[in-house]
Amino acid sequence: MCGIAGLCDFSKNQINTNEIELMVKALKHRGPDDNGIWTEHNVALGQTRLSIVDLKPTGHQPMISNNGRYVLVFNGEIYNYKELAQQLQKEGVLFEPTGDTRVLLEACAHWGVEKTLPRLNGMFALGLYDRAEKTLVVARDRFGEKPLYYTYDGCKFAFASELKALKKVSFFNSKIDEEALALYLRFNYIPCPYSIYESCRKLFPGHYLIIKDKGCENKCYYSLKTAFDRRTLLNLPEEELINTLDAKLQNSVKDRMICEVPIGAFLSGGIDSSLMVALMQTQSKAPIKTFTVGFKGDYCDESKYAEAIAKYLKTDHTTVYILPEELWESATEAVDAYDEPFGDASAIGTYVLSKQFKKHVTVAIGGDGGDELFLGYHRHKWLPYLSGIGKWFPNSFLKFCEKTNDVLFSCRRPILHTQLNKGLHSLKAKHFIEAYINSVSYWSTRTNLSNTWFHENESLGCNAEQVSYLDLRTFLHDDVLCKVDRASMAVGLETRAPFLDYKLSEFAMAIPLNQKFKNHDKKYLLKRVLSKYIPQSLWDRPKMGFGMPLAQALRTSLKMDFDNLLKKDTVLWKYLAKSQVQRLWNEHLINAQNNELLLWNFYVAQRFLLK
């Protein structure tokens, strides 16, 4: 796991080595163990390294191919690199396969990038320079586990793992992209391909760019849409399906446990993380190190459930209890790690937990992707029923329901309040994609979706499987995976997600809906697998999610800061009515209504704009 960066000036000007040095320095937190820079006239590549596999100097980057033609910087892990090495050696490629970086580099040299990328099973972002063709290629993994930002002015190109590194180049334009800001207010994150800056873009998952002196070409090597559309549905008896799924999960977990440094797992006590830990423990002679974050006396504290599961599995468990004041002391660090507005408040808890985790291990296994692949969100259950039926209800009735929901549940049952509110918004939709967007929206800002993957899916039908597909295409990489990568890599901790093995994910997509969602039971098949390892009584409870004690913090620790932000004039007021935000704030302060999600979304954006 690393931080990577690169520069290419096709105006033939000599690269300023000071710029690549500053870029690499800005990424030191992602790779504290080693760093390197390679330059050649108008090209520069840099990397900071977190050593996980091939700890010897042979893993140093940037790495040059044996034939001297290619130079690689690489962030991530290739889990099938030993198989690829065997294939290369069978085809006569002579090299020492010391680690996944060397294998990846020689694979690109032998097969070419276009044929190598589809062969990779892993998480990655990379930059590869062809010294013969004077061509730079940057690429990103299938699901977007690893980030890659880039900026291109038609002559100069730069890329990096994080925006803070890109901002070090002389031609970076820091003008705010107001379209991206509106998208953030709508979705609580900035979706691909946007970033908060007009001059900078995120590379879509499953894509790569070819940059030459004649221009920049964006190509796709893996399309989740194509994989979904072309899948052949399985026809297996339930018990055989469960056993096959169990075996595939075991293989994926086994692959992701390979490393040369201490490893552990996040354990929330929910289905996904519990299953990951159970499968890890079956493959380990020593107790697996597991970690949970707890909030004493708070409704969103799940630590007691995680502790019960850890005790049953006999893991080496640690619960990190955090007081509200400690949590918000870390809030600034956590929010700043994203370099652009990112409103998922659970990022703070993920960051605090990662800091504690890093004291004991270097690699953490998590359950990310389980909800998206196996229908674990509440919207998978209710959205198909709500889509399109709102036309039968007058707007006056829907507004009455919204007010009733606010009065009854806003403060007493905030999770239920949020679910009902999103459901009522979805009822107003004219078609399925609009219903989905309403179900994941925060502020109702006008947004242009034409360049995002939301627009590409406007013809979808309406069932739980299509909701899951949209989550995989949008929410997973732009929210979930972004959150985990920045929060963990801010402290030099590598995270791995066994559910996102692409062979496992394609198997999951091929499972018929009536088996995956039997009796409308969310994550039915995962529950069946989990029950083989842990008694149902320890994990069978309503889904909570990784919540934060945010409501009270806004009334106490963050109150003064919030009051000050409300007084400032920024471009944000082009999209939000100050009177509306003030009203929501006043209601929240007197505990008349819990508006924590909208207020936190505003807080993060306004704070960013005033930095």
| Catalytic site positions | 2
Q: What is the dihedral of CA 442, 444, 446, 452, to 10 degrees?
A: 30
Total residue length of the chain? 611
Q: Which DSSP symbol is given to 14?
A: P
**Do 5 and 165 meet the contact criterion of CB atoms below 8 Å apart?**
yes
Phi then psi for residue 349, to 5 deg, are -65, -40
Task: State CA 244 to chain mean position distance.
Answer: 27
Q: Which DSSP symbol is given to 41?
A: T
Task: State CA 206 to chain mean position distance.
Answer: 14
Which amino acid, residue 65? S
Q: Does the bond joining 147 to the residue before it have cis omega, within 30 degrees of 0?
A: no
CA distance linking residue 258 with residue 489, whole number of Å: 19
The DSSP bridge pattern shows strands 289-294 and 316-321 to be parallel
Give the tokens for residue 94: 């002579």
**Do 523 and 185 meet the contact criterion of CB atoms below 8 Å apart?**
no
Give the tokens for residue 307: 């502790």
The DSSP bridge pattern shows strands 363-365 and 494-496 to be parallel
The answer for 341, left when phi > 0, alpha when psi is -120 to 50, beta otherwise, is beta
| Residue with tokens 């529950």, as numbered in its chain | 527
Compute the Cα dihedral for 202, 265, 379, 220 and give only its sign: positive
Spell out the SS3 assignment of 550-589: HHHHHHCCCHHHHHHHHHCCCHHHHCCCHHHHHHHHHHHH
CA distance linking residue 136 with residue 8, whole number of Å: 8
| Residue with tokens 């219903």, as numbered in its chain | 435
The alpha carbons of the chain give a radius of gyration, in whole angstroms, of 24
CA distance linking residue 611 with residue 594, whole number of Å: 27
Q: Does the bond joining 193 to the residue before it have cis omega, within 30 degrees of 0?
A: yes
Give the tokens for residue 276: 């990951």
Give the tokens for residue 156: 């100069």
